[in-house]
Amino acid sequence: MQNPFVASHWLCFYNEDMGKRLYEKKRRFAAGVALAAGIALLTPLAGCGEEMMVPASEEAVTEATDPSTSAMPYISEEPVADIPESPIAATDIEQHSSEVSPTTEQEPVSESFSITLAFAGDINFADNWCTMGYLHSQGDDLTNVIDPDYLAEMQSADLLWINNEFCYSDRGTPMAGKMYTFRSDPANVKYLTEMGVDLAGLANNHVFDYGEEAFLDTLQTLQNAGIPYVGAGINLEEASAPVFLDADGVTIAYVAASRAEKNIMTPEAGENSPGILRCYDMTRFLNSIKKAAEEADYVIALPHWGTEYSTTLEQAQIDGARACIDAGADAVIGTHTHCLQGVTSYHERPIAYSLGNFWFNERTLDTMLFELRLSGIKTIEPDDTSSVIITDVDSVILPGRQSGYITTMAEGAEKQEILDAIDAISPAAE
């Protein structure tokens, strides 16, 4: 059976549990908007082509009907006793009335939103590697190695994440016993800016290739460029911390970790030592996801895992993706395998097991730019606090091909060929 997600290029997700979680978290604001606007205490949520009515909380209904709290005047049916004349003269009343300024209560403001979160797989700017040699031969013009249509899509996304599969430094020595080690001139970080990158993924098996000095240079280079990173840090606290980014008033959390190496060489961060966050044991990774879910409107788990150049999923990937979603992730997007792996969903949350290479080497390989297009309603209170209800999540595959140091977006028959190939390796939704 053809995977409807791949066949139609996108799939609209609306999960009732997620909707309830977001609604309940913000019900005070939603009820306030309903009452202030004088509308029915039912809020429509458009999800996957159907309308879902979410009832306001009982407290809100009580407040709307209780005379003691209602905004409408309350008229007593008891007889009113005679009221003695006030000793204040009418002229005094007029004078006092002119001195009192009327007060106007501000009401919450609700508006719709639509944002795009984009994700690209492995990139490699290492100066000792073939990709950069080819870029230099093309006048260092990124549009000669990455399709301008892809670049335009990446730059227009509200938030763009990529897997930064190397270190930035001019220091350090190659890690002993490692076949491939990648180090880039810190000046090459400019290409991330040209791509429109908003967040660099560092939970991978090459960021520590030239040792601690080069790793720390990498963190500093990204900081100097104004690009946040996730999945690594100067200590375990930073490496495991979710990264929260804002997209049009919607808080997006990213959490990243790696279990890519069969022969583990890349160090995990310690209490007082730098490194990445690992997830061979999922405990810390899942705890970070849970923390992110408490504070963000949408949570993305970014594991670096799988077997290189294999479309066959490891059981650890299948179990791990489910665990991430059960812990509170709204999407799971993986990397590491250098080739595309299947795309599916679990409890109506999207899973892309591996994005493969985006611009990494000379091999001819299918690739994709993966997008999550979120829409919904956000409410801004008079005190500037806000609440968000996500009603739709469209997951979009923009297929392409890496070949001979050039990555192009696919069209026509080639596009359909890649989509069919993804469909063939994608597990059924659960």
Whole-number Å distance between alpha carbons of 271 and 277: 12
266-298 pLDDT, tens digit each = 999 999 999 999 999 999 999 999 999 999 999
Residue 320 has pLDDT above 70, yes or no: yes
Residue 348 near residue 216 (C-beta atoms within 8 A): no
Where does residue 212 rank: exposed (0-12), middle (13-18), buried (19+ CB within 10 A)?
middle
Question: End-to-end CA distance of the chain, in Å?
Answer: 14
Taking residues 302-322, report their average pLDDT: 98
Residue 39 has pLDDT above 60, yes or no: no
Residue 85 has pLDDT above 80, yes or no: no
Whole-number Å distance between alpha carbons of 430 and 427: 9
User: Residue 220 has which token pair?
Assistant: 């500093």
Residue 75 has pLDDT above 80, yes or no: no
Mark out the alpha helices in 177-257 (DSSP H runs): 190-195, 211-224, 236-240
Whole-number Å distance between alpha carbons of 53 and 395: 24
Q: What pLDDT score was predicted for residue 317?
A: 98
Residue 162 near residue 123 (C-beta atoms within 8 A): yes
Q: What pLDDT score was predicted for residue 302?
A: 99
Domains and CATH numbers, the chain: 114-375+396-424 (3.60.21.10)
What percentage of residues in the chain have a pLDDT greater than 70?
A: 76
With H, G, I as helix, E, B as strand and everything else as coil, classify residue 320. Answer: helix
Q: What pLDDT score was predicted for residue 79?
A: 39
User: Residue 154 has which token pair?
Assistant: 């990446």
Q: What pLDDT score was predicted for residue 11?
A: 46
Residue 95 has pLDDT above 80, yes or no: no
Q: What pLDDT score was predicted for residue 3?
A: 54
323-335 pLDDT, tens digit each = 999 999 999 999 9
Residue 88 has pLDDT above 60, yes or no: no
The confidence band for 367, taking pLDDT boundaries of 50, 70 and 90, is very high
Cα torsion angle, 187, 210, 357, 3, sign: negative
The confidence band for 103, taking pLDDT boundaries of 50, 70 and 90, is low
Nearest to 367 by CA among 402, 403, 333: 402
Residue 30 has pLDDT above 60, yes or no: no
Tell me which range, 25-39, 118-132, 380-394, is most confidently predicted by mean pLDDT: 118-132
Q: What pLDDT score was predicted for residue 102?
A: 52
Strand partners, 183: 167
Cα 328 to Cα 107, 124, 196, 375, distances in angstroms: 32, 31, 28, 19
Residue 217 has pLDDT above 80, yes or no: yes
Residue 70 has pLDDT above 80, yes or no: no
* Mean pLDDT for the chain overall: 83
Q: Which helix (H) or strand (E) holds 409?
A: strand 406-409
Residue 405 near residue 145 (C-beta atoms within 8 A): yes
Residue whose pair of structure tokens reads 């990774």 in the numeric block: 285
Amino acid at site 248: D
